[in-house]
Structure formats: C-alpha cells, structure tokens
Structure 1
Amino acid sequence: MAEDHQIIAKNFPVKPKLKPTSTKSTSAESKYWKSFKPQPIQTLIASITSLSFSPAPPHDFAAAHSATVTIFSSQTLEPKSTISSFADTATSASFRSDGRLLAAGSHSGIVQVFDVKSRTPLRHLRRHSRPVHLVRYPRIDKLHLFSGGDDAVVRFWDVASETQILEFTGHKDYVRSGDCSPASDDLFVTGSYDHTIRLWDVRVSSGGSMMEVNHGKPVEDVIFLPSGGLIATAGGDSVKIWDVIGGGKLLYSMESHNKTVTALCVGKIGKESGDEAQQNRILSVSLDGYMKVLDYAKFKITHSMRFPSPLLSVGFSPDCLTRIIGTSNGKIYAGKRKTKENVGAEVGNIAGLGPINEPPKRALRPSYFRYFHRGQNEKASEGDYLVMRPKKVKLAEHDKLLKKFRHKEALVSALRGKNPENVVAVMEELVARKKLLRCVSNLETEELGLLLGFLQRYATMPRYAGLLMKLAKKVVEMRAEDVRSDDVLKGHIRNLKRSVEEEIRIQQSLQEIQGIISPLLRIAGRR
C-alpha cells in the first residue's frame, strides 16, 4: 500500500530519462558580451581598415575607410565629422591622449596630424617612401608619435617641428601594426610581414631592437596587454601571447579561428570603467567572420560571436560601454551596453528638453473601482519574493491511464500515438513499477503487432537501444507461440532481424575504419 502511495505521488506527465541533457549553458560572461546591443550604423564607402577610440571622454571613435577618416559619437553612434584631406586611401588613425589631435597615415606615405574639432591638417610628416599603415601616439606623451610603413622602416617623430628624431631599421618586410607600452612612453612594439615582432626603445640611439620574436606567419596586429609585461600578436589563424619581461617567451597560442586573424584589442569585464574588480580580455576578429573573447589569465575562450562579413578591425571604448567592429564591405557593427543610468536618462529626457515632471497621482479610495484592482499589474522589484500560481498541467491519455494504474492500456495508448519519446517514457515508468513484462504478456495480437513494429523502427537507435534491445529479446521469448501462428507478426520479426543485422554490419565497418585511423593518429601525435 505504501508503494502505491509513492507511485501516486509521482510527478506527471512522465518524461523519458534516456534523452541526453544539454551541456550548453549561458555563463555570466556570455551574458555580459551579449548585453552590447547592436545598433545600425550607415554603410561606409570601403573596407574599415582601422578603428580607434579617443582616450578622453566622451570617447568618440574614428574609422579609416577609403580616402576618408570619419569620427563618430560614441553616445549616439552618428557621424560627427569627416576628414577628407587625403590624396590616397587612409589606413590608420590614432588619437592623442587628450583627444584633441588625430594622426592618420595613408597610401601616399604621408602622416598627417589634424585638429579634431576644426578638421584642419596641422602637420605633414614626409619621410616614408611607401604606404603608411601604422600611426600611434604614446600613452601620455603629446609631442611625439611613431609610424611604420611598407618601406619596412619605423620612424619616431617630433610632431611640433615636423622632424624625424629616430629611424628604426630591422624589419625586412611591410610594417603593418604596432602599439605603445602602457608602462613607459619610451617603449613600443611593431609587427611585420617578415613574421617578426620587435620591441623598440627610443632612448637607444643606435636604432636596434631590444627584443625580437617570430610569430611564424605575417603579423597582422600586435598589442600590449594592460600590465605592460605581455604582448599579444595576430597572424595567420592564430593569436599568441608573449612574455616581454621574460625575454619573449611564448606563453600561449590560440588557434580557434579558421582564417586570418586581422585585428586585436583589449576589452574589459566589469560593472563600470572605475570598478576595481574589472578583468581584461583579448578581443580578436578574423576573416572567418568570428569575434572571439580570450581570458588570457586562464588561457580560455569565454565567448564567440559570428558576423555575416569578413572582419578587419575592432575597438572597445575606455568606459566599457561601446564595442565596434569594422568589416570588409564597409559596415560597422557597433554594440552599446545599456546601464541603469542610461535607461534613466532616456526615460527622464525627451530630445534633450530636460527632465519630465509627472503630474501627482490621485490617492485611491475604497469608493473607486480601481482600488480593488490595485497592484495586479505591478512588476516585482529586485528584492521581492514571488509566489507563483501553479500552472495546470495538461496530461496526455497515457499519463491519465498510468495514474489510474491501467498499465496495459497506457502502453497501447502511447504506441498508437507514434511518439517514440512518449513510448519510451511509459516503458521506463512500467519498468520502475515492475509491470512492463506483465503488460507484454497480456497484449492482444494486434497490440503485439504495434509493439513489434515500434521495436523494429527504434530498437537500433542509439538513444533507445539500451532499453529496447533487451525488451525485444524478452518479447520474442515470451510470445514465441503467438509469433509462429501469425504471418503479420512473423513479418515484424523478420524486419526486426534485418534491422539488427544491418546495425551490426555498420558497427563492424566502423571498427575497421577505427583500426585504420588509430595508428595514423598516434603517429601524428608523436610529431
């Protein structure tokens, strides 16, 4: 009797236990990166070769495309101004630390310095003989910048006097990328298509590099990580992390992209830009259309996102509110992260007219009809405890029969429904109640045909084979006399035998293939 009460207390409807559970889970970090809601930005003329954020608030960003550099507002994501003073394609742009000046290189070989507000070209730095793809301002220094180009030369400039201070030689191919050290304005790193990354010090007048590492593929981008002791490089389909303090020791190589990795930047995980609990991540984009987020402290990819176009550039704002990605077809995928302050500002202001003063609400009294319906549409706040009304579960026919302990009728009902998950769930429930074999022995000839037909179709499926193959053996043993006396049942048994033999043949073929491949994999692993 106690067993019957335990069965009655079981939750219905029954569900199959054989169904594999999904291991996919949405982590807090994935939710963070998905919170950057994409907003449309107008399609520009050509490929977005460079994206750069201003270090100074409100952190506007510049996009280099065609013979133009367009400056966008990070608040509205609308274009604020356009600089078109280029004789050829603009390739790279960099803001000064105060955000007032912008330096840009182009295919003409000239590095130009512009006033951001007036868009006036203030300086023209002319020494490169080939296109310039790298222009960077140091972290704090406002008077100097360095550049690199297809002439394989890296040059350090005094912007005020338009003169070259130092010339660094050592690369043997195009210099396409570089970055300034966050620890010292005297150190910077460059990457070249000769597969090497070189660390330079402007205090060394000889012009030789302080350190050299080989990425193994043409270097598309190189960045310093925030500590200043590590650098990340992109080339081919890999992103590598190097220990600068340790003399250029390779720490990690990420090879999850399928095509050339084109750009890197540092992103941050945290509530706000001043949060001490912030953690740094490396954002990489590739021609395969994927953006990947790498936690370089754990050497683990924490998030991945697919875009419909090949990706060429990426940027992340210093205030952690905007993420931008440039593509080969002129589109910018910009993501804005909404904060409580942003949402409050949107609600309290319309078109910049200032806060809205809501009229005072009239107090509700018992004489009003609304008094008795108050609070029904209120949404729960963060600390409220919700008491949910239990949902009425609609039971299938086989569940109703199981609740009434009509076991054979429940099995037949599930078999007639032709849903394999429901049938297996009922069988598992009958096994738990120790009633399945009794039901099989009591089946009529037509009902037995339904069971054999089901076994013939699904017994060899990996999801159900563990239960159904054992059941098929028991059915044949228990109902052998009934099968011999009925041609329809004989046909089901022949079909079941044919399905089992075919499955055995497939498994044998797979074992033969595994025997051929396993030695080859072991040999490849030794190499």
Structure 2
Amino acid sequence: MATEVVPLQPVKTATGPSPLTPDQIYWSQFSSQAHLSSPGGSAVTHISSPLEYPAVPYISASASISSAANQATFAITTGPRIILHSTSSRQPTRTLSRLPPGATAYSGSIRRDGRVLAAGSDSGLIQVYDVGSRAILKTWHEHRQPVWVTKWHPSDLTSLMSCSDDATVRLWDLPSETAVRSWRGHADYARSGSWLEGGRAVMSGSYDGMVKIWDPRVDSRSGYSDTDKAVLTFKMPGPVEAVLPMPGGTSVVASAENKIAVLDLVAGRPMQVLSNHQKTVSALALASKGKRVLSGGLDGHVKVFDSETWNVVAGFKYQSPVLSLSVVADTASKDTPDKHLVVGLQSGVLSVRTRLSGAQKVAAREKKQEMAALAEGKIEEYDNKKKRKQRGKGWEKRLRGKEFKGEDVDIIIDGNPLGNSRKLQPWERLAHKGMYSKALDVVFEPKNPSKAETLTLLTHLVHSSALRTALSHRTARDLQPILRWLVRAISDPRYIKLTVDVALIVLDLYSEHFGDDLVADADEGGPGSEDMREVRRLIERLHNGVRRGCDVAMQAVRVEGMVGLLGVEG
C-alpha cells in the first residue's frame, strides 16, 4: 500500500545563546497552559480571586475565613455570566447568571472567604450572590448607569465599594438597603477603582483623566463635602482604565491610554511614567507578594515590572487584546508564591498558565519516563527498576488515554488511528505513482484546493527532488496557475523558501521562452498570443512582488539597526 502523504512539520531554527535572568527563569516556569472558551464567545472582562495579592495576607490573619476548599476558586466575568473555576483543575465549577434578560455583568468580585460574590451590570444593578446556593442575597438600585467596578473590603466581610458610569463612587454595607457613602467628584465615567491597602481609603479612576483618593473618615464637619471632594487628585494623560494599590499604602499605579503612572500619595506627584505598551493598558495586577506588577494591554502583551526599578523583567504575548488579568497564589505554600497567571481576552478565551511546584515537576518527569519506557517496549524493566507493583487490568489504556487536567497536563498529539486511515486524495494517489505533473495540475485546479494541499504537495516534491520534473514541458496555459500562485504567495514570509524554490525552477526552465522574439510574436497576434501575454503579465507582477518584498526587508533591517542602537527590548 502506498505511503500516505502528510504535511511536513515546520522547521524551527534554533535561537542563539542568551543569558536568562532570574525573573525570566521564574516566569518561564508558567509553562502548563490551558485555553478555555467562554460561553457564546463573550469577552472575559474581569477576573477575581480571594487568593490574589493583596487579599492573601488577610486570609491567614482572620479566624473567620472558610476552609481552603471554599477559597480554591477564581471567578471570571463574561457576558451575562460569572463563572467560577477551580484552582486545582482550572475547570469551571459553577455559573451565576441571575441578571435580567439581555443584561451584561461587570466586575464579578468574589469575597475573600469564597462564599459571597458581588457583581455590577449594565443596567446599574449591584447584586450579591451566595456562591453555594446561587441565591441573590442583596440587590441595590441606586446607580443609574452601568456599574463597572465592585470590590470587597480587604478585611471587613460586609463592606463593598462600586464605581459607575454615572460618575459616582459609592460605599455599601451588606445589611443596609442604601449606600452608606457617595462621592460625585468625577466629571465622566468612573470605570476603575479599588481599596487602598488596609481598606482605610478608596481610589477611583475616571474617563475625565483623574485618579482620586477618597477617605470615608472625612466628612463635611472637617470642611469637606460628602458629595464631591477627594482628599487627593492626580491628573492623567487620558481616560483612566485601571488602578492598583501598592503594598505599604504610600503609592498607587494607574493606567491611561498606553501609559502607566506610579503615583506617590505622600508627595502627591507621579514617581514614574512607563510607556512600554503600544496600545491602551486595560488591566493591572500584583504578583510575587507585591514585588512585581503585571500589566495587560490591547496590544496583546502582558508585561512584568520590577516594582523597585520599574524595568520590564518578563512578558507574554497573546493572540487577542488583553482585557483582564490576575495572579492567583498557592495556598499550599507558606510564602504564598504565584500559582496561576489568569488572563482574559477580548476573543472570549481565558488563558490560565500554571507554575508547577517541585513535587509536580517530579511527577511530570516520572510520567515522561514512564511513557518513554512504554513506547520503547521496556515497561516491565521500568517497573522493576522503580519497584512498582504489578499493574492491574487495563493499565495501558488508562496510561495512554488518561485525560489530564490542572497542573499535570500532558501534550498529546493524535495521529490517524490504526486501521482507520483517511482516504487518499486524487493528487496524493498520482504523486505516489510518480505522476508528478498531473498531481500538480489537480492541485492547481480552480475548483479544488485548499492552500494546505498545495503547500503539502509542493513540499513533498521538493523533498523528493521531483519539483523540476513536475514543472517541465508545460505550455503557456499550463504555466499560468503556477505563476498566479507564485504572485499570491511570494509576499508571505511563511512560504518564502518554498516560493523561491518554485520560482527559480520556473525561470530556469522557461526564461528562454520569455525573450523579445516570442513577446513580439505574442503582441502581433501569433499562435497562443493571448496565453503568452497573460504569462508575460504574470511574470511582471511576480517581478514587482519580489521588488516590494526586498524593499520591505531592507526597511526591516534598518529599523532593527535603529532599535538596536537605542537598546530597546523587544
């Protein structure tokens, strides 16, 4: 039976040696990645966890905190739903969706004990849910426009703050029916906010370009109005998308457009302004016990900053704009190191990167050795070496087909099952029979193919040294589909090596037929003049495409040189 033609694996060139910093090594350990799609493909606009800094220190300090089973969740807000995920398996465990029909949820914030969750909505409602029963515990109606922020107090289990498009910032107490404080100092949408460390004050960011600090302890008797006076105000260069309190309570971080400002609350001025993103910075988070600050932007980048030097020490790239992010800590560790990097994308995908612990690394290594022994037929020798007990019935099926979740994720590449190979395509059968020219004609038929089939056959012909044979002895009409493909593909850097190989052979075989005599004959209406004119036009288009590609390559080299002189990190 003829061997099936399959697409070749892309060749990856090795990168040159480069020294790795401790931060690069640390963040590269977040290697176990899961991509989870939200229902309906709605954007993931918010991520909340009781195990993210600065909530973590209060977990061990309070006797009222529930068991780790209740804490081991994080909540994502997407469309009309708030979905809770397990921190061990990373899979959804339950969904809260009790909004009015057509409403959208915002900022589902899970309380530090993991039992209660609050969320705003585009209708202005704030609802508080019992996570266990999904029952609505409280509903507040005071906001008149969408509520983009709800945040629980870091230590008080009944206090909550909110920010809304009605330009107000409000404080709530769970037993009360109305807001206990309301500030109206913003002139535009208030779409970001948080408690300062310890919950002594509230910060908010607005589309009026202001970051304001509000102190609930200050009232009108102290000379301040309860409705509009902030104790501290910072002017930002554009609409404020995200704010983040820093450890120590003396500084905060805020993002506006593509800039991140580090604001000193004591001096009342910016300490640093960072411009490391190309597009709007939409999310901020703390990691490594507050020693690292993460930022996510609409350019699809997540960058990690050292909170002392404010240099970028690591980064990640995603295929869609980043709307939300959070770093979830590890409850099993005494110093609460980072366990999950959770990123919500505009495409509706939730990306969860997990850092494997020491024990998990050992388990993954042993699993890899066991699979290698099975593949080599040395599983009994492996069992004797490890002094394993005799395996029960069905062990091989369980070993091969087990579905791994959470930290112990294996990458499994499924091939065609034995005895169930797919049917060969006509061009594949012709290629196996050595009829390369006919196989190429079939692939280039207008009714046919897919780009993948064309690339597969051409790659097969190159590796079989049969490309020249397939391209030989063609008329002007037979040559046109190949030239059209070259014109389309020559500008794509992914296929540049393949297109150059094909183009060089075509020019080598037929360049003598593109001479002045034949061109003149075509212009005078000689035999095959229409086909020859078309070939001439395609050759000119191919020539122009190559020139454009060379110009782009030269510009890229110049830009790379200029960036190198500036010392800018990629």
TM over 0.5: yes
Aligned residue pairs total 327
Matches within 5 A, 1:26-41: 26-41=20-35
Residue 360 of structure 1: CA displacement?
9.7
The aligned runs of 1:37-116 (5 Å cut-off) are: 37-44=31-38, 45=40, 46-55=42-51, 57=68, 58-87=71-100, 88-116=103-131
Name the residue aligned to 1:266. 286
Change (3 A) 1:162 1:38: farther
Q: Deviations over 1:467-488 (max 9, x none)?
A: xxxxxxxxxxxxxxxxxxxxxx
Match of 1:142 in 2: 157
Question: Which of the two has greater helix per residue?
Answer: 2
Paired residue for 1:241, among 245, 262, 284?
A: 262
How far apart, CA to CA, are the structure 2 residues paired with 1:263 and 1:22?
33
Cα distance in 2 for partners of 1:25, 1:252 equals: 28
Report the Cα distance in structure 1 between the residues aligned to 2:357 and 2:47, rounded to whole angstroms: 24
Q: CA deviation at 1:186?
A: 2.7
Match status 1:171 vs 2:186: yes
Residue 292 (structure 1) aligned with residue 281 (structure 2): no
Check conservation: 1:41, 1:331, Cα contact below 8 A. yes
CA distance in 2, matches of 1:360, 1:200: 66
Q: Which residue of 2 aligns with 1:313?
A: 324
- Shift of the 359–331 alpha-carbon distance from structure 1 to 2, 3 Å rule, reads same
- Residue in 2 that maps onto 1:255: 275
Q: Which has the larger radius of gyration?
A: 1
Partner residue of 1:187? 201
User: How big is each residue's C-alpha offset from its partner over 1:408-464, in whole Å with a ceiling of 9 and x where there is no partner?
Assistant: xxxxxxxxxxxxxxxxxxxxxxxxxxxxxxxxxxxxxxxxxxxxxxxxxxxxxxxxx
Distance 1:258 1:348, change over 3 A: closer
Please tell me whether the aligned partners of residues 59 and 318 of structure 1 are also in contact (alpha carbons under 8 angstroms).
Answer: no
Amino acid at match of 1:62: A
Q: Is 1:158 matched with 2:179? A: no
Deviation string 1:10-44 (CA, Å, 9 cap, x unpaired) is: xxxxxxxxxxx978432121111111124223211
Matched residue of 1:176: which SS?
Answer: strand
Could you report, residue by residue, the CA deviation over 1:235-290 in whole angstroms, capped at 9, with x for unpaired residues?
A: 1001110111222x11101101000110000011xxxxxxxxx6611100101011
Partner of 2:414: none
Q: 2: distance between equivalents of 1:361 and 1:203?
A: 65
- More moved, 130-139 vs 40-49: 40-49
Task: Tell me the residue number matched to 1:204.
Answer: 218
Q: Specify the code of the residue in structure 2 equivalent to 1:231.
A: V
TM-score norm. by structure 2 comes to 0.54
CA 310–361 in structure 1, closer or farther in 2 if over 3 Å, else same: closer
**Superposed CA offset, 1:489-516 (max 9, x none):** xxxxxxxxxxxxxxxxxxxxxxxx9xxx
Structure 2: tracts of 5 or more residues without a match: 1-14, 52-58, 60-67, 220-224, 331-337, 368-382, 388-557, 559-570
Check conservation: 1:97, 1:141, Cα contact below 8 A. no
CA deviation map 1:22-70 (0-9, x unaligned): 7843212111111112422321130111011124644411110100000
The match for 2:144 among 129, 132, 137 is 129
Q: Is the CA contact 1:41–1:78 (under 8 Å) kept in the aligned structure 2?
A: no
Query: Identity, % of aligned pairs?
Result: 31
CA shift for structure 1 position 333: 1.0
RMSD: 2.7
In 2, the alpha carbon distance for the partners of 1:34 and 1:359 equals: 35
1:331 aligned to 349, 369, 372, which one? 349
Q: Secondary structure at the match of 1:313?
A: strand
- Is contact 2:247-2:290 (8 Å) kept? no
How far 1:342 sits from its partner (Å)? Answer: 3.2
Q: Cα offset for 1:132?
A: 0.3
The residue that corresponds to 1:483 in the other structure is none
| Alpha-carbon distance between aligned partners in 2 of 1:342 and 1:324, rounded to the nearest angstrom | 19
Counterpart AA for 1:256: N
Cα distance in 1 between the residues matched to 2:281 and 2:133: 35
Match of 2:312 in 1: 301
CA displacement, residues 183-202 of structure 1 (integer Å, 9 cap, x when unaligned): x3231100000000000111
1:38/1:157 CA distance change after superposition, 3 Å: same
Residues 387-426 of structure 1: matches in 2 within 5 Å? none
Q: Output the CA distance in 1 between the equivalents of 2:199 and 2:279.
A: 34
Q: Tell me if the contact between 2:326 and 2:341 (Cα under 8 Å) persists in the aligned partners.
A: yes
Q: Equivalent residue for 1:449? A: none
Q: Give the Cα–Cα distance (whole angstroms) in 2 for the partners of residues 190 and 78 of structure 1.
A: 32
- Once residues 386 and 113 of structure 2 are traced to their aligned partners in structure 1, the CA distance between those partners, rounded to angstroms, is 48
- Change beyond 3 A, Cα 1:92–1:338: same
Task: Tell me, in whole angstroms, the C-alpha distance in 1 between the residues paired with 2:150 and 2:363.
Answer: 37
Normalised to the residue count of structure 1, the TM-score between the two structures is 0.59
The answer to whether residue 235 in structure 2 is matched with residue 224 in structure 1 is no
Deviation at 1:335, TM superposition (A): 0.5
Partner Cα distance (1:64, 1:279) in 2: 24
Deviations 1:91-126 (A, max 9, x none): 112122222111111101011111111111110011
Output the CA distance in 2 between the equivalents of 1:227 and 1:321. 23
- Residues in 2 aligned to 1:141 and 1:97: alpha-carbon distance in whole angstroms: 10
For residue 208 of structure 2, give the secondary structure of its aligned residue in structure 1. coil
- Between 58-67 and 283-292, report the one with greater CA deviation: 58-67
In 2, the alpha carbon distance for the partners of 1:33 and 1:219 equals 28
> What SS does the corresponding residue of 2:157 show, helix, strand or coil?
coil
Partner AA of 1:195 in structure 2:
G
SS at match of 2:213: strand
Query: What residue is the counterpart of 1:370 in the other structure?
Result: none
* Distance in structure 1 (CA, Å) of the matches to 2:358 and 2:265: 40
